[in-house]
A and B are shown apart, each in its own frame.
Chain A
Amino acid sequence: MLSSMEKSIAELRETFKNGGTKSISWRKSQLKALLQLINQNEDSIFKALDQDLGKSPVESYRDEVGVLKKSVTYTLSCLEKWVAPKKAEVPLLFFPAKAEVMPQPLGVVLIFSSWNFPFTLALDPLIGAISAGNTVLLKPSDLAPACMSFLVETIPKYLDNKAVKVLAGGADIGERLLQLKWDKIFFTGSPRVGRLVMAAAAKHLTPVTLELGGKSPAIVDTLSTTPSKAKVTAKRIVGGKWGPCTGQACIAIDYVLVEEKLASTLIELLKKTIKRFYGENIKSLKNISRIVNKHQFQRLVNLLKDPNVADSIVYGGSVDEEKLVIEPTILLDPPLDSEIMSEEIFGPLLPIITLKNIEESIDFINSKSNPLVIYAFTEDDTFKKRILSETSSGTVTFNDSMVQFLCDSLPFGGVGQSGFGRYHGKYSFDTFSHEKSIMHRGFYPEIEPRYPPWTDFKLLFLKLAYQFDYFGLILLLLGFKRS
């Protein structure tokens, strides 16, 4: 007796097998329907995001709705190009032959999304999976329950139910899904759960993409350039920390590295900017999300419990447990072995670590595991080159924060502990495709030396052939070469 979950998946497999998701017109119709879904339900989406995370409509549009609309539109305009087979060069030796690589859907894919960008992280991978011709089961995070409900209720009204399904539920549902066989699993979340997903996938040899996190640092070297650049730097740091879901983002700035003589300048600029953006204090806090739930709230509060850490607070620190709010908080040089400096913060606490010389930031970053992003505010070209060649991260962004997310032509993904695999733009299509090699050969001419019985002549012929030494081959055939 199959459970309803297994029946759903069987239906997805049947739909895929019958070619229901193969045609470009089907894929385009689904993408257009998704666009309609977003356009016609913008207000409900804003409402759900406000309910789950306290996001303002502008933040929601900038980070979720707008990103998705752009992604669907871009995919629709490029899909025909992406689906077309790519020719591959064939050496003369194989003449006449034709070689190409043809992308094919993987089959039935499973997408796990996270709670902090509950729409973007669910639907952006979905766009990739549909564009590549797969059937999909989407499992949104139950830690953003209003958004999850919205997806469960609304997606069936717009998309093909036989090919795209949404399943509500918590970790137990996730575990059950992982027991089954998928053709691909796409996971966004923490490294801890990433390990469990990959271990489960290993049982079925299912390929996975893991979009994880880490401590994404911001190196700050532009405070002594001009006052206006220093101001913009501060704005971009503030915007890159508290702007996205009050720091609860894999690409949010986790901590800052700056030279000690410039630390106070930076802190003053940050304070001014924070007050202007978010209000004077916790009571008048606005334009900022809240902490998602009590568990995360407690975790963040605990980071500040260490007295040495608490002592290093230079701004903020107030919390409101009822409203699940922690005001933007800056710390100056908390102890490097404290939890706040060893775990991904994922919240509105910003440690500033001072160095004698900004170049030391490279070793500092390398002492930790590879982050998803390194942000570097610097105009020193030599330093930029050093950062690029001496550190490793998913992405490097110079002189800004967050915006690399909007670049469809840049692969978005991690390396090392921040994950593997990538998406956005064509990379989304590729990540849900198998690139099938195809070689077309003719029956003529025949190369006799391919076949036994083996002789010295055949050996020499093949050696020359494999070196693509066509001239040598001619000499051999004319009898001018001997072994």
Chain B
Amino acid sequence: MASEVEKKAVFDIDSAKEVVQELRASFVAGKTKDYEWRRTQLKAMLKMMDENEPQIVAALRDDLSKPELESSIYEIAMLKNSCKLALKKMKHWVMPEKAKTSLATFPSSAEIVSEPLGVVLVISAWNYPLLLSLDPVIGAIAAGNAIVLKPSEISPATASLLAKLVANYMDSSCIKVVEGAVPETTALLEQKWDKIMYTGNGRIGRIVMAAAAKHLTPVVLELGGKCPVIVDSGINLQVATRRIIAGKWGCNNGQACISPDYIITTKDYAVELVDSFKCELERFYGKNPLESKDLSRVVNSNHFARLLKLLDEDKVSSKIVYGGERDKSNLKIAPTILLDVPQDSLIMNEEIFGPLLPIITIDKVEDSFDLINSGTKPLAVYMFTNNKKLKEKFVEKVSAGGLVINDTTVHLAEPTLPFGGVGDSGMGAYHGKFSFDTFSHKKAVLYRSFAGDAPLRYPPYTNGKLRLLKALLGGSILGIIRALMGWSKA
């Protein structure tokens, strides 16, 4: 009993090494490559979610005060869909892809074979602790890897639950959950992985990539940034407002990487927009939003203090046009809208990740493109407009992980779209087949025969050979015939 407690107490470099060794042995033994094993694990994960929905919802309530609907839909339902998609499509994903061959390598045939990378590390975040942990794991399993999942310690109830459930439902010799905080994560990062996927912020992203560099481990970094929403006039304002609200406060109370961070609209339209927000916010959350059960709380006191710092900055607090109320004991901040905060304020220079929504105004809508491009590239940019030309310009000019026109956040649910960032918002992508691909190595295979061994490849090198080579690489049949005839003359 005592030694068990001792063993559990410290997860250090040696423990990390042991875990990796065990998983590598499982991988080398071919356990995870086996197609049936992959299917069994995915089915087990589905069962795990079906049989534990109330416990999952309770853990998310503990960690985040997440409303049941958000937990059921944005975490559980999305995960189940992802699992089902993988189960349905995996047989296609694992098939080799034929590749064309050209005259230069005739006769030959070629294909691209997907193989697992090996032993992979998934580090997830606290805001969607179930989804961001298991969605990458689905891809890693489908691709045939052994996996360590390190959930965030900032959502401890969910992390514990995950550890327990994964151990009960899935193959522990190939899939493990390691709980812990900075020391445990550091111990894990010292090991050699075949791929690391990290969801979180840029500061830690840099640390993860630097650790990966020591072992030449490829990484996927799903980071964040300030996701702006451009609001043009001449739209259905009510629908637009509601969709922004759903994407902001409806997504873990603004604590989501793809939540609308701030709004850009024209000076002329701002007042109408603010009024629309006031109206819809009250309709959704009532007159006392601090008491609404349909809003997550701020995750912990650190983030609560951070958000208040943004809100209470002198040049900012005077710009509040709606909300601003706070309840420290329950870690709640009411949906808050600010109008025209200065560009150099704190709130406009870091990812908000909370229920505060600044509105910036400009003269012309088109000015928003340059404004957004002058900052670091965000994970997503949203625009509400009916102007076709503006849409085209938007799509062409604005650089971000993903763009949505006339809605917010929904592209996350679209498995045929790669989900990931660019620049400071990250590198790599996943969802759907992209998850499978991101945890695979795409091995090129060329089949050659012994027929047709062209002497022109080999020394002695002559001018005739040079001529023929030029023609062959140039790909023109006529050129080759000419050179062949010329060569045979020589």
A199-B214, A287-B459, A438-B403 known; A395 and B450 CB under 8 Å?
no
Interface of B is mostly: mixed
Q: List the A residue with the shortest CB-CB distance to B281.
A: A452
* A463 B72 Cβ-Cβ under 8 A: yes
From B402, B441, B445, B448, A439 is in contact (CB under 8 Å) with: B402
Centre residue among B242, B286, B441, B475 by max chain A CB count within 10 A: B441
* B474 A442 Cβ-Cβ under 8 A: no
Task: Tell me which residues from 71 to 114 in chain A have a Cβ below 8 Å from any Cβ of chain B.
Answer: 73, 88-91, 94, 99, 101-102, 104, 106-107
A58-B465, A205-B206, A287-B461 known; A420 and B81 CB under 8 Å?
no
Q: How far in angstroms is the closest Cβ of chain A from B27?
A: 11
Which of B1-9, B216-224, B300-308, B351-359 interfaces with chain A?
B216-224
Task: Tell me which residues from 422 to 436 in chain B have a Cβ below 8 Å from any Cβ of chain A.
Answer: 422-424, 426-429
Q: Does A239 contact B (CB under 8 A)?
A: yes
Interface string of B186-213 (1 = CB under 8 A from A): 0000000010000000100111011011
Q: Does B417 contact A (CB under 8 A)?
A: yes
Interface string of B393-406 (1 = CB under 8 A from A): 00100011111111
* B417 A99 Cβ-Cβ under 8 A: yes
From A106, A404, A406, B444 is in contact (CB under 8 Å) with: A404
Q: What CA separation (Å) do A202 and B391 show in the bound complex?
A: 34
* A403 B404 Cβ-Cβ under 8 A: no
Q: What CA separation (Å) do A470 and B413 show in the bound complex?
A: 17
Q: Does B102 contact A (CB under 8 A)?
A: yes
Q: How far in angstroms is the closest Cβ of chain A from B188?
A: 17
A195-B214, A396-B444 known; A415 and B416 CB under 8 Å?
no
* B423 A183 Cβ-Cβ under 8 A: yes
* B101 A212 Cβ-Cβ under 8 A: no
Q: List the A residue with the shortest CB-CB distance to B212.
A: A198
Q: List the B residue with the shortest CB-CB distance to A17.
A: B373
Contacting residues, chain B, for A94 (C-beta < 8 A): 410, 414
A198-B212, A235-B453, A462-B73 known; A439 and B407 CB under 8 Å?
yes
Interface string of A274-290 (1 = CB under 8 A from B): 00111000000011100
A239-B458, A403-B105, A420-B218 known; A437 and B443 CB under 8 Å?
no
Q: Does B439 contact A (CB under 8 A)?
A: no
* B72 A398 Cβ-Cβ under 8 A: no
Task: Tell me which residues from 211 to 251 in chain B have a Cβ below 8 Å from any Cβ of chain A.
Answer: 212-214, 216, 218, 221, 223, 235-236, 239-240, 242-243, 245-246, 250
Contacting residues, chain A, for B117 (C-beta < 8 A): 415
Q: What CA separation (Å) do A409 and B104 show in the bound complex?
A: 12
Q: What CA separation (Å) do A62 and B446 show in the bound complex?
A: 19
Which of A134-142, A317-325, A443-451 interfaces with chain B?
A443-451
Q: Does B110 contact A (CB under 8 A)?
A: yes
* B446 A395 Cβ-Cβ under 8 A: yes
* A90 B403 Cβ-Cβ under 8 A: no
* A70 B401 Cβ-Cβ under 8 A: no
Task: Tell me which residues from 290 to 334 in chain B have a Cβ below 8 Å from any Cβ of chain A.
Answer: 292-294
Q: What CA separation (Å) do A232 and B428 show in the bound complex?
A: 43
Contacting residues, chain A, for B33 (C-beta < 8 A): 389
A88-B414, A416-B216 known; A395 and B469 CB under 8 Å?
no
Q: What CA separation (Å) do A435 and B417 show in the bound complex?
A: 9
* B400 A407 Cβ-Cβ under 8 A: no
Which of A301-309, A453-461, A472-480 interfaces with chain B?
A453-461
* A454 B67 Cβ-Cβ under 8 A: yes
Interface string of A381-405 (1 = CB under 8 A from B): 0000000110011111111100110
* B411 A437 Cβ-Cβ under 8 A: yes
Q: Does A482 contact B (CB under 8 A)?
A: no
Name the interface size band of chain A: 35 or more
From B417, B419, B446, A403 is in contact (CB under 8 Å) with: B446
Q: What CA separation (Å) do A386 and B205 show in the bound complex?
A: 38
Q: Does A467 contact B (CB under 8 A)?
A: yes
Q: What CA separation (Å) do A421 and B428 show in the bound complex?
A: 11
* B102 A407 Cβ-Cβ under 8 A: yes
Q: What CA separation (Å) do A129 and B168 show in the bound complex?
A: 49
Contacting residues, chain A, for B209 (C-beta < 8 A): 198, 201-202, 205
A398-B445, A462-B77 known; A243 and B458 CB under 8 Å?
yes
Q: How far in angstroms is the closest Cβ of chain B from A119?
A: 14
From B194, B410, B450, B466, A441 is in contact (CB under 8 Å) with: B410
Q: How far in angstroms is the closest Cβ of chain A from B273?
A: 16
Q: What CA separation (Å) do A411 and B444 show in the bound complex?
A: 6
Q: What CA separation (Å) do A104 and B417 show in the bound complex?
A: 15
Contacting residues, chain A, for B240 (C-beta < 8 A): 443
Centre residue among A67, A102, A406, A411 by max chain B CB count within 10 A: A406
Interface string of A420-435 (1 = CB under 8 A from B): 1110000000000011
* B458 A452 Cβ-Cβ under 8 A: no
From B68, B216, B400, A436 is in contact (CB under 8 Å) with: B400
Q: How far in angstroms is the closest Cβ of chain A from B215?
A: 8
* A452 B406 Cβ-Cβ under 8 A: no
From B72, B284, B405, B427, A459 is in contact (CB under 8 Å) with: B72
* A199 B210 Cβ-Cβ under 8 A: yes
* A410 B418 Cβ-Cβ under 8 A: no
Q: Does B112 contact A (CB under 8 A)?
A: yes
Q: What CA separation (Å) do A88 and B417 show in the bound complex?
A: 7
From B216, B427, B473, A195 is in contact (CB under 8 Å) with: B216
Task: Tell me which residues from 450 to 471 in chain B have a Cβ below 8 Å from any Cβ of chain A.
Answer: 450, 453, 457-462, 465-466, 469-470
* B473 A67 Cβ-Cβ under 8 A: yes
Contacting residues, chain A, for B441 (C-beta < 8 A): 392, 415
Contacting residues, chain B, for A101 (C-beta < 8 A): 417-418
* A454 B422 Cβ-Cβ under 8 A: no
Q: How far in angstroms is the closest Cβ of chain A from B394?
A: 9
Q: List the B residue with the shortest CB-CB distance to A454.
A: B69
A104-B399, A434-B399, A439-B407 known; A398 and B448 CB under 8 Å?
yes
* A399 B69 Cβ-Cβ under 8 A: no
Q: Does A228 contact B (CB under 8 A)?
A: yes
Q: List the B residue with the shortest CB-CB distance to A404.
A: B446
Q: Does B487 contact A (CB under 8 A)?
A: no
From A222, A393, A396, A437, B417 is in contact (CB under 8 Å) with: A437
Q: How far in angstroms is the closest Cβ of chain A from B31?
A: 14
Q: List the B residue with the shortest CB-CB distance to A104.
A: B399
Q: How far in angstroms is the closest Cβ of chain A from B86?
A: 15
From B81, B102, B205, B407, A467 is in contact (CB under 8 Å) with: B81
A62-B469, A199-B210, A436-B400 known; A415 and B443 CB under 8 Å?
yes
Centre residue among B240, B413, B450 by max chain A CB count within 10 A: B450
Q: A403-B104, A436-B401 are in contact. List 6 more A-B contacts (CB 8 A).
A: A205-B423, A388-B443, A409-B110, A416-B194, A437-B414, A466-B78
- What are 27 A-B pairs at a CB distance below 8 A? A61-B473, A62-B469, A99-B416, A183-B423, A198-B213, A202-B207, A202-B213, A205-B205, A207-B428, A238-B458, A276-B459, A366-B28, A388-B445, A399-B450, A400-B448, A407-B110, A437-B402, A437-B411, A437-B414, A438-B403, A440-B406, A441-B410, A451-B284, A452-B292, A453-B286, A462-B73, A466-B78
| B residues adjacent to A (C-beta < 8 A) | 28, 33, 67-69, 72-73, 77-78, 80-81, 99-102, 104-105, 108, 110, 112-113, 115, 117-118, 194, 202, 205-207, 209-210, 212-214, 216, 218, 221, 223, 235-236, 239-240, 242-243, 245-246, 250, 284-286, 292-294, 373, 391, 395, 399-407, 410-411, 413-414, 416-419, 422-424, 426-429, 441-450, 453, 457-462, 465-466, 469-470, 473-475
8 A-B pairs with least C-beta separation:
A287-B459, A58-B461, A202-B209, A198-B213, A437-B402, A400-B448, A66-B473, A420-B218
